[in-house]
């Protein structure tokens, strides 16, 4: 598990995927989310604008990232 710190109250899921270098572009992030390949706190998340906050765990492509 990788731990990441964000500088604000939250970051949108599509922006988060780019921030942690899982998605190279916004289109790639959109594809991953729409295909159901992203889980937030153990549940598949289909909303690009989902707010990721401290304590959330994001899983995608075999990577697990916790926001601390």
β-pair type (2-4, 63-67): parallel
Q: Which domain range does residue 23 map to?
A: 2-67
State pTM to two decimals.
0.93
**Count of domains observed in the chain:** 1
Full pLDDT tens readout for the chain, 68 residues: 999 999 999 999 999 999 999 999 999 999 999 999 999 999 999 999 999 999 999 999 999 999 99
CATH number of the domain that 48 lies in?
A: 3.10.290.10
pLDDT number for residue 17: 97
Work out the end-to-end distance of the chain between its first and last CA atoms, rounded to an integer number of angstroms. Answer: 12
Q: Please name the residues in contact with 31: beta carbons below 8 A apart, sequence gap of 6 or more.
A: none
């Amino acid at each position: 598990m990788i731990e990441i710190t964000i500088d604000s109250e939250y970051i949108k899921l599509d922006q988060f995927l780019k921030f942690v270098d899982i998605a190279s572009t916004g289109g790639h992030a959109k594809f991953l989310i729409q295909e159901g390949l992203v889980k937030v706190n153990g549940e598949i998340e289909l909303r690009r604008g989902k707010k990721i906050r401290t304590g959330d765990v994001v899983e995608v492509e075999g990577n697990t990232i916790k926001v601390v």
